[in-house]
Amino acid sequence: MSELCFRSHWLRDLSAIAFHEIVSLREAVFVVEQACVYQETDAQDLVARHVSLRIDDALAGYLRIVPGDIPAIGRVLIAPAFRGRGLGTDLMQAGLRETQRLYGDVAVRISAQAHLRAFYEGLGFTVASDVYLEDGIPHCAMQRAAGHFSRSVQT
Protein backbone atom coordinates (compact mmCIF):
# COMPACT_ATOMS: atom_id res chain seq x y z
CA MET A 1 0.00 0.00 0.00
CA SER A 2 1.13 3.56 -0.58
CA GLU A 3 2.25 5.75 2.29
CA LEU A 4 -0.51 7.30 4.40
CA CYS A 5 -0.27 11.06 4.81
CA PHE A 6 -2.30 12.78 7.52
CA ARG A 7 -2.79 16.53 7.36
CA SER A 8 -4.39 18.72 9.99
CA HIS A 9 -5.51 22.30 9.40
CA TRP A 10 -7.73 25.04 10.71
CA LEU A 11 -10.19 26.21 8.07
CA ARG A 12 -8.34 29.51 7.61
CA ASP A 13 -5.23 27.53 6.60
CA LEU A 14 -6.94 25.34 3.99
CA SER A 15 -6.95 26.49 0.41
CA ALA A 16 -10.31 26.96 -1.24
CA ILE A 17 -9.53 23.98 -3.46
CA ALA A 18 -8.65 21.74 -0.49
CA PHE A 19 -11.83 22.68 1.38
CA HIS A 20 -13.90 22.18 -1.76
CA GLU A 21 -12.43 18.67 -2.11
CA ILE A 22 -13.28 17.90 1.54
CA VAL A 23 -16.83 19.24 1.28
CA SER A 24 -17.42 17.42 -2.00
CA LEU A 25 -16.39 14.12 -0.40
CA ARG A 26 -18.47 14.78 2.73
CA GLU A 27 -21.52 15.52 0.57
CA ALA A 28 -20.90 12.44 -1.62
CA VAL A 29 -20.86 10.20 1.47
CA PHE A 30 -23.23 11.83 3.96
CA VAL A 31 -25.81 13.41 1.63
CA VAL A 32 -25.81 11.30 -1.54
CA GLU A 33 -24.62 7.83 -0.44
CA GLN A 34 -26.51 7.88 2.86
CA ALA A 35 -29.50 9.70 1.33
CA CYS A 36 -29.65 12.38 4.05
CA VAL A 37 -30.90 15.76 3.03
CA TYR A 38 -29.36 18.22 5.48
CA GLN A 39 -27.08 21.24 5.61
CA GLU A 40 -23.75 19.39 5.48
CA THR A 41 -21.44 22.37 6.01
CA ASP A 42 -22.13 24.27 9.21
CA ALA A 43 -20.69 26.78 11.67
CA GLN A 44 -18.66 24.01 13.31
CA ASP A 45 -16.42 24.02 10.23
CA LEU A 46 -15.27 27.52 11.20
CA VAL A 47 -13.83 26.38 14.55
CA ALA A 48 -12.99 22.74 13.82
CA ARG A 49 -9.61 21.19 13.16
CA HIS A 50 -9.85 19.42 9.79
CA VAL A 51 -7.90 16.16 9.55
CA SER A 52 -7.48 14.53 6.17
CA LEU A 53 -5.95 11.26 5.09
CA ARG A 54 -4.29 11.30 1.70
CA ILE A 55 -2.89 8.40 -0.29
CA ASP A 56 -0.90 9.23 -3.42
CA ASP A 57 -2.30 12.76 -3.07
CA ALA A 58 -5.91 11.50 -3.28
CA LEU A 59 -8.27 12.39 -0.44
CA ALA A 60 -8.91 8.97 1.13
CA GLY A 61 -10.47 9.97 4.46
CA TYR A 62 -11.50 12.86 6.62
CA LEU A 63 -12.68 13.83 10.08
CA ARG A 64 -13.06 17.04 12.02
CA ILE A 65 -12.37 17.85 15.66
CA VAL A 66 -14.79 20.33 17.19
CA PRO A 67 -13.72 22.12 20.39
CA GLY A 68 -15.91 22.22 23.47
CA ASP A 69 -16.04 21.25 27.13
CA ILE A 70 -15.53 17.77 25.71
CA PRO A 71 -14.01 17.93 22.21
CA ALA A 72 -15.93 16.00 19.58
CA ILE A 73 -14.75 14.06 16.56
CA GLY A 74 -17.23 14.01 13.72
CA ARG A 75 -17.79 13.72 9.98
CA VAL A 76 -15.59 10.60 10.01
CA LEU A 77 -15.42 9.02 6.57
CA ILE A 78 -13.34 6.93 4.24
CA ALA A 79 -13.80 7.56 0.51
CA PRO A 80 -15.55 4.63 -1.21
CA ALA A 81 -12.51 3.77 -3.35
CA PHE A 82 -10.38 3.30 -0.20
CA ARG A 83 -12.73 1.28 2.00
CA GLY A 84 -11.96 -2.22 3.23
CA ARG A 85 -8.30 -1.51 4.02
CA GLY A 86 -8.57 -0.72 7.74
CA LEU A 87 -8.04 2.97 7.10
CA GLY A 88 -10.87 3.98 9.43
CA THR A 89 -8.79 2.86 12.40
CA ASP A 90 -5.73 4.73 11.11
CA LEU A 91 -7.80 7.87 10.56
CA MET A 92 -9.43 7.73 14.01
CA GLN A 93 -6.07 7.13 15.70
CA ALA A 94 -4.68 10.18 13.88
CA GLY A 95 -7.73 12.19 14.98
CA LEU A 96 -7.32 11.09 18.58
CA ARG A 97 -3.62 11.98 18.53
CA GLU A 98 -4.46 15.41 17.12
CA THR A 99 -7.15 15.90 19.77
CA GLN A 100 -4.59 15.06 22.46
CA ARG A 101 -2.05 17.43 20.90
CA LEU A 102 -4.59 20.27 20.84
CA TYR A 103 -6.41 19.73 24.14
CA GLY A 104 -4.36 17.34 26.26
CA ASP A 105 -5.44 13.96 27.60
CA VAL A 106 -9.13 14.87 27.76
CA ALA A 107 -12.37 13.00 27.19
CA VAL A 108 -13.50 12.85 23.55
CA ARG A 109 -17.07 12.40 22.35
CA ILE A 110 -18.62 11.21 19.11
CA SER A 111 -22.08 10.72 17.69
CA ALA A 112 -21.59 7.29 16.16
CA GLN A 113 -23.76 5.52 13.65
CA ALA A 114 -25.16 2.65 15.70
CA HIS A 115 -23.87 -0.05 13.35
CA LEU A 116 -20.30 1.21 14.00
CA ARG A 117 -20.54 0.85 17.79
CA ALA A 118 -18.06 -2.07 17.98
CA PHE A 119 -15.57 -0.21 15.78
CA TYR A 120 -15.54 2.76 18.15
CA GLU A 121 -15.48 0.53 21.23
CA GLY A 122 -12.28 -0.95 19.81
CA LEU A 123 -10.82 2.56 19.97
CA GLY A 124 -11.71 2.98 23.65
CA PHE A 125 -15.14 4.63 23.35
CA THR A 126 -18.10 3.56 25.48
CA VAL A 127 -21.78 4.07 24.77
CA ALA A 128 -23.19 7.14 26.54
CA SER A 129 -26.80 7.17 25.30
CA ASP A 130 -29.64 5.13 23.96
CA VAL A 131 -29.93 4.88 20.19
CA TYR A 132 -31.48 7.96 18.58
CA LEU A 133 -32.17 9.04 15.02
CA GLU A 134 -29.96 11.67 13.46
CA ASP A 135 -30.95 12.57 9.92
CA GLY A 136 -32.93 9.31 9.78
CA ILE A 137 -29.92 7.12 10.72
CA PRO A 138 -29.66 5.34 14.11
CA HIS A 139 -26.82 6.84 16.19
CA CYS A 140 -25.60 6.65 19.75
CA ALA A 141 -23.49 9.07 21.75
CA MET A 142 -20.15 7.59 22.73
CA GLN A 143 -17.31 8.92 24.83
CA ARG A 144 -13.68 8.05 25.38
CA ALA A 145 -12.60 8.83 28.93
CA ALA A 146 -10.01 11.40 29.87
CA GLY A 147 -6.72 9.79 30.77
CA HIS A 148 -7.09 7.18 28.03
CA PHE A 149 -3.80 8.18 26.43
CA SER A 150 -1.97 7.90 29.77
CA ARG A 151 -3.40 4.44 30.41
CA SER A 152 -2.55 3.34 26.86
CA VAL A 153 1.10 4.27 27.37
CA GLN A 154 1.32 2.30 30.62
CA THR A 155 -0.08 -0.95 29.19
pLDDT confidence of residue 152: 54
75 contacts: CB under 8 Å, gap ≥ 6? 26, 30, 62, 63, 64
pLDDT confidence of residue 124: 96
Longest dimension (CA), the chain: 45
pLDDT confidence of residue 154: 42
Domains along the chain with CATH numbers: 4-154 (3.40.630.30)
Low-confidence ranges of the chain (pLDDT < 70): 1, 149-155
pLDDT confidence of residue 35: 84
- Tell me which residue of 5, 110, 111, 95 sits closest to 51, measured CA to CA: 95
pLDDT confidence of residue 36: 83
> What gap in Å lies between CA 15 and CA 28, rounded to an integer?
20
116 contacts: CB under 8 Å, gap ≥ 6? none
pLDDT confidence of residue 148: 74
pLDDT confidence of residue 24: 95
